Structure 1
Amino acid sequence: MSAEWLLANEGPLRLGIFLGVLGLMLLLQRRFPLRGDGRWSRRQAVNAGMVLIGTLLLRLAVPVLAVGWALKVSERGWGLLPALGLDGLALGVIAVLLLDLAIYWQHRLFHRIPWLWRLHRVHHSDTAFDTTTGVRFHPLELLLSLVIKLVVIALLGAPGLAVLVFEILLSSGALFTHADFALPQRLDRRLRWLFVTPSMHRVHHSPHRHETDSNYGFHLSLWDRLFRSYRAAPAEPESRMTIGLADWRSTGEQRLFALLRQPLQRPARTTPEDHDA
């Protein structure tokens, strides 16, 4: 697959797969709802507005996105993996795995470092949990995440095709793991030995810090098990558990412009269960 083909087709391919997965998740959570959070509401429109603003910011602020940057990196022969003599399928698979590991640790840092948490808590302040929660990120978090990703791609020497596969997995996985349904328990138990499921990730959206600070993985549950951040279930039944953060629950705080300025604000109150502001 040529570099020219990737550059010409990665945008339409990613958009087409994203819209297809989004449509499927919307249908599934309407047909098999766990909590009823997938019912159409203003909240979902706000989440859609967040991703549209973030996408526009990335296009305006960054001259090259992940796949284009990976192609430039490959042209120059940069990175650890090519230096180790890896190429072909082995290079691609290892690159995808290491990119997934990098985003796991990025996620943990966004929870641990206060000023990063101020950006990331916009995602966690959603008071319901459905597939649109998977695109609710502050535009500045998206921008910072892209910069981190570009640095990791250069350090690894990840090839363009591997980065494209990872980007598709990342966006599709975010929609799946935030969907308002639960897999059959036996299937869920088996799948989560390797993959993150909606029930596993739902724990991460609890208001209780010991639950919020767990299950950081995006695709592979391996990292949470390996680095001891795995939690099997929330204290409350997942169909009735509280979603969101205690300090950011009012209607006014859930509006689009309020979410955009939220990182500049301190919570009105602080509870032992909430994160540091």
Structure 2
Amino acid sequence: METLIRLSAAVGIFLLMIGWEFWRPRRVLKLPRAQRWPINLGLAALNMILMRASLGGLGYLAAVHAQTQGWGLLALAPLPSWLAIAATLLLLDFAIYAQHILMHKWPLLWRLHQVHHTDLEFDATTAVRFHPFEIVLSMLYKVFWILLIGADPLAVIAFEIILNGAATFNHSNVAIQPTLDQKLRWLIITPDMHRIHHSTRRAEMDSNYGFSISLWDRLCGTYVADPKEPQISMSIGLAAYRKPEELGFLRLLRLPFKTLHRD
């Protein structure tokens, strides 16, 4: 049931965002969707099958186990249910922010995460363009934090829905009125804000690491408000990988094991 709830929410939000992209796109995509979508969605399908066959539901089960055994920080100072859920959501969101920075700064992890950044365009399907090994490591990392926090199981389900939904939203190629975008940024990560993180410029790529709320980027000094190039024409991807024919499905699976390019 937990998996069905998360999958239904993810598919619903994805369909909503691709509909918005067709209705009001932010950028004119130079590469056809037929060239990119099978790769991105193929990775998503592979990752879903892999997780279903191995670690699927592990986060929820870890939360149930932690509460049953009285493990975690929340067990040391019992809180009202609503406050425990809020604390869990906030702490897990910060954990993902920190993980994202580690994925960029640690060369071994960057080998995996670069697959996400090789996309030469930026739309809702970019949100699911991840190497399977990164998905596995991310789940194990989240389980560590869930046990450390003593997370509420319902909060874990809610967090996964929020994380997937926020990632789909902030990777989407949708136009939002500029003044509204600036107001939204005080709370959440907007597509214009996260697109800067996918810039080919190193300084811009090393910014705006958040996936859900913008608080961590602002507090930790990793927030960049605007790219040097206009949003509608800024270069997306990695400087070392500019040829679409070199970024096929099987090549992306092999990419972490090839010569490492930081940029």
| Same topology, TM > 0.5 | yes
1:253, distance to aligned residue in structure 2 (A): 2.1
For each residue in 1:125-154, what CA deviation from the matched residue of structure 2 results, as whole angstroms up to 9, or x when unmatched? 100000000000100000000000000000
User: Is 1:82 aligned with 2:109?
Assistant: no
Out of 33, 49, 52, the position equivalent to 2:42 is: 49
1:64, distance to aligned residue in structure 2 (A): 4.7
CA contact (8 A) 1:177 1:197 kept: yes
Q: Which runs of 5+ in 1 are unaligned?
A: 1-8
User: Is 1:206 aligned with 2:213?
Assistant: no
Out of 95, 98, 106, the position equivalent to 2:99 is: 106
Question: Distance between the aligned counterparts of 1:71 and 1:36, measured in 2?
Answer: 46
Equivalent runs, 1:15-164 vs 2, <5 Å: 15-37=7-29, 40-62=33-55, 64-164=57-157
Question: Distance between the aligned counterparts of 2:208 and 2:73, measured in 1?
Answer: 28
1:249, distance to aligned residue in structure 2 (A): 2.0
Aligned length in residues: 262
Question: Distance between the aligned counterparts of 1:199 and 1:41, measured in 2?
Answer: 24
Q: Tell me the secondary structure at the aligned position of residue 41 of structure 1.
A: helix
CA contact (8 A) 2:120 2:244 kept: no
CA contact (8 A) 2:3 2:57 kept: no
Partner of 2:179: 186
1:63, distance to aligned residue in structure 2 (A): 6.7
Q: Tell me the secondary structure at the aligned position of residue 33 of structure 2.
A: coil
1:255, distance to aligned residue in structure 2 (A): 0.5
1:69, distance to aligned residue in structure 2 (A): 1.8
CA contact (8 A) 1:30 1:39 kept: no
CA contact (8 A) 2:193 2:208 kept: yes
CA contact (8 A) 1:67 1:160 kept: yes
1:85, distance to aligned residue in structure 2 (A): 1.7
Q: Which runs of 5+ in 2 are unaligned?
A: none
User: Is 1:170 aligned with 2:163?
Assistant: yes
Partner of 1:224: 217
Give the fraction of aligned pairs with identical amino acids, expressed as a percent: 44
1:16, distance to aligned residue in structure 2 (A): 1.1
For each residue in 1:64-117, what CA deviation from the matched residue of structure 2 results, as whole angstroms up to 9, or x when unmatched? 521122112111111001211224000000100000000000000100000101
Out of 212, 231, 234, the position equivalent to 1:238 is: 231
Question: Distance between the aligned counterparts of 2:120 and 2:192, measured in 1?
Answer: 16
Cα distance, 1:226–1:251 mapped onto 2, change above 3 Å: same
For each residue in 1:186-239, what CA deviation from the matched residue of structure 2 results, as whole angstroms up to 9, or x when unmatched? 110101011100000000000111000000001110000000000001110010
Question: Distance between the aligned counterparts of 2:191 and 2:134, measured in 1?
Answer: 22
Question: Distance between the aligned counterparts of 1:150 and 1:84, measured in 2?
Answer: 21
Q: Give the alignment's TM-score, normalised by structure 1.
A: 0.91
Q: Give the alignment's TM-score, normalised by structure 2.
A: 0.96
**CA RMSD in angstroms, aligned pairs only:** 1.4
User: Is 1:11 aligned with 2:3?
Assistant: yes
| 81-90 or 233-242: bigger deviation | 81-90
Q: Which amino acid aligns with 2:247?
A: Q
Q: Which amino acid aligns with 2:118?
A: S
For each residue in 1:228-262, what CA deviation from the matched residue of structure 2 results, as whole angstroms up to 9, or x when unmatched? 00000111001011100011122332100000000
